[in-house]
Amino acid sequence: MLRTPVPETMSGIRAHMLASSNAGQDANSDVSAIFDELTVELRSQPKSSSEIRQSAYLQHKADFQELVTKGARLFKLMIAESTSSAQSSFTDVEDLQKWGYDTYNYNDASELRGIDSVLDTIEVSKKSTRLLSPNIPVSHTHKTPVVVEGMLFPATNALLCQVINISDGIIVAYDNFTAQGVNGRKGSRVPPLNHWSDIAYLQWLSKAEPDSNLRFVLRYNVINDGTCFALDFMESHCGFALTQWPGTTYYPGSNEFNALLGSPNGQGCGGDVTSRRLFISDTQQCQNKG
């Protein structure tokens, strides 16, 4: 019986077909299994470097587009009329302790290094000392297990530190690792109070009055993987250049604006606008702290 030659990479499939034929079995009974095995083997063959690069690019493009979509959706919420359903349920400073967040002495937040030009532009004090400056470090850690309404919420080791300037109306997000970010991927239970925007607002309230004028939110030393991915993709494929302040300005409606707003760091700031109606900015700027 004549057989079509089979490539060496398919030798396992060939042996299987010959064995089935020599045993006198009905070929139709094994055809599905044979082709399933063939598909698996072909998929396991090494891809060329160009195919790998193309596949990686398509995946990165899809991930970037997801950030663009998230940002566009969030911006619509930011500019929409305020509704009670969009407001956060966390409005009392005591909520921090209720959900296991304890105050923490963050000594490293004594100065805001490397952003003098930013602070000069918005006319905010550069110093951050507890006694002589309006800039106040406010920090909390989540190291206390709590039981709320009969449900145990274990400690997550989250850390959230902001530098707050009440007189100038600014929050500098200094060093933040949320409960969801630290333990969410491990399937651990996290408290409902876990979003940066909610916690930062309560930290603001711990030093300011509810009607205090919050004008600026700055993200200091951005290292979040999702946000850095957005910046890297924009540098590689969108003609974006990460430069010193004032950096590059993108306006609402652009893919770059939406991607940055949809990034993990951007979502935190946008969440403040949506759930607190604290401020609305017309632009979003990127800058390299340098």
Q: pLDDT tens track of the chain, all 290 residues? A: 333 343 433 333 333 333 334 444 454 455 455 445 555 554 555 667 777 778 888 888 899 999 999 999 988 888 777 655 456 788 899 999 999 999 998 876 656 777 777 878 877 766 554 444 578 889 999 999 999 999 999 999 999 999 988 888 888 999 999 988 787 665 678 999 998 989 998 999 999 877 777 888 888 888 888 999 999 999 888 877 777 777 888 888 899 999 999 998 888 777 666 655 544 344 444 444 33
DSSP one-letter string for 53-71: HHHHHHHHHHHHHHHHHHH
DSSP one-letter string for 186-244: GT----S---HHHHHHHHHHTTS-TT----EEEE-S---HHHHHHHHHHHHHS-----S
Residues 91-129: pLDDT tens digits? 899 999 999 999 998 876 656 777 777 878 877 766 554
- Determine the pLDDT at residue 111: 67
Residues 44-64: pLDDT tens digits? 556 677 777 788 888 888 999
pTM for the model: 0.68
Measured in residues, the chain has a length of 290
Distance CA 289, CA 244 (A): 7
Element (H, E) at 165: strand 158-165
Q: Would you give the DSSP letter of residue 143?
A: -
Distance CA 30, CA 32 (A): 6
What is the distance in angstroms between the CA of the first residue and the CA of the last residue of the chain? Answer: 74
Query: How many CA atoms, within 13 angstroms, populate the side-chain half-sphere of residue 241?
Result: 4
Distance CA 158, CA 247 (A): 31
Contact residues for 247 (Cβ-Cβ < 8 A; gap 6+): 285, 286, 287, 288
